[in-house]
Amino acid sequence: MPIVETLEDVVEAILKSRYLISLTGAGISAESGIPTFRGRDGLWRKYRPEDLASPEAFRNNPKLIWEWYSWRISMIINASPNPAHVSLARLEDMGILKALITQNVDNLHERAGSKNIIKLHGDILTARCISCGYKKRLDAPPEELPPKCPSCGELLRPDVVWFGEPLPTEALGAAIIHTHRADAILVIGTSGVVYPAGAIPYTVRENGGVVIEINIGESAITPIADYFVRGKAGEVLPKILDLIAKKL
Ligand code: NAD
Ligand code: ZN
């Protein structure tokens, strides 16, 4: 079990670091009202995400998959960044946070003002043709489901990474570079069970870096965390930021 340190110790570790990165997961957007996959998703609770977020599911029933994505897209458009997203953007502005690697497909990090964001699992607000690669930005769910490619007539799909699919090459390359530069990582709101994202904190640790985790419960990262802060990201991160501001 990792030692639960006080926030002062966490702040000291952050300020001592020279290359701090962050890995975020669905938990950081939970306080913005966007459910995690392991949370309660009302209407869609009868399906397992693994049975919806997969190439097979899309092939079998593209309309059903688009209905699920349309529901998620609407929710994301109507949501706002919470104090956890804002705190990470501030940490970057202060020059402390060097890169933000996210597994989230929402746009709340961008909207909070973060700039160096690496989207490992794609972007739910982009649709991509399954045949010709045409891409379209979405500012609302598509009107007709499933949407078709205006260029070749094939189906459009959400531009996200589904179970069993490889990660976008460019994002993965950037994530690897920052992971190897990092001497500290803030792991926030992720269960750490989706790979290769879940391996990032392990690599930082193997390279001698410090692992700081913020989560409401233990995760697959907790066993290697140097500091584990149990709490809501939207409550813990602003407190950390306040303490940092006092020390600078
Ligand atoms: P996950 O659902 O597996 O785990 C969420 C984690 O967040 C859990 O460990 C939980 O304890 C923690 N958590 C919940 N509320 C929290 C809070 N307020 N503060 C701190 N921690 C909190 O999520 P994951 O690890 O990101 O993996 C699931 C996959 O689902 C990812 O690949 C992601 O792309 C996708 N997903 C994305 C979104 C999104 O973009 N917002 C939402 C759901 C799922
Ligand atoms: Zn096309």
The 3-state secondary structure of the chain reads CCCCCCHHHHHHHHHHCCCEEEEECCHHHHCCCCCCCCCCCHHHCCCCHHHHCCHHHHHHCHHHHHHHHHHHHHHHHHCCCCHHHHHHHHHHHCCCEEEEEECCCCCHHHHHCCCCEEECCEEEEEEEECCCCCEEECCCCCCCCCCECCCCCCEEEEEECCCCCCCCHHHHHHHHHHHHHCCEEEEECCCCCCCCHHHHHHHHHHCCCEEEEEECCCCCCHHHCCEEEECCHHHHHHHHHHHHHHHC
| Radius of gyration (C-alpha) of the chain in whole angstroms | 18
| Nearest of 163, 203, 154 to residue 183 by alpha carbon | 203
Residue with CA closest to ligand 1 atom 15: 27
Nearest ligand (C-alpha, residue 133): 2
pLDDT, average across residues 12-32: 98
Nearest CA among 111, 105, 106 for reference residue 88: 111
pLDDT at position 248 is: 85
Expressed in angstroms and rounded, the spacing between residue 103 Cα and the centre of ligand 1 is 8
**Dist CA 38 CA 216 (whole Å):** 13
Q: From ligand 2's centre to the CA of 191, what distance in Å?
A: 35
Q: Are 69 and 158 in contact (CB under 8 A)?
A: yes
Strands 122-129, 135-137: pairing is: antiparallel
Which residues approach ligand 1 with their CB closer than 6 A?
Answer: 25-27, 29-31, 34, 36-38, 103-106, 121, 189-191, 194, 214-217, 219, 232-233
- How far apart are the CA of 72 and the centre of ligand 2, in A? 23
Summary mean pLDDT of the chain: 95
**How many residues are recorded in the chain?**
248
Instruction: Give residue-wise pLDDT tens across range 121-162.
Output: 999 999 999 999 999 999 999 999 999 999 999 999 999 999
User: How many whole angstroms separate alpha carbon 220 and alpha carbon 211?
Assistant: 13
Cα–ligand 2 centroid distance for 60 (angstroms): 19
Per residue in 176-232, pLDDT (tens digit) is 999 999 999 999 999 999 999 999 999 999 999 999 999 999 999 999 999 999 999
Atom of ligand 1 nearest to the CA of 232: 19
**Does residue 85 carry a catalytic annotation?**
no
| Nearest CA residue ID for atom 17, ligand 1 | 232
pTM of the model: 0.96
Give the rounded distance of the alpha carbon of 90 from its chain centre: 17
Ligand 1 atom 18, closest CA: 232
Give nearest CA residue, ligand 1 atom 22: 27
Residue with tokens 């919470």: 82
pLDDT band (50, 70, 90) for residue 73: very high
Rama region for 133: left / alpha / beta (φ>0; ψ in -120 to 50; rest): left
| Cis ω before 196 (30° cut-off from 0) | yes
Q: What is the CB neighbour count within 10 angstroms for residue 127? A: 24
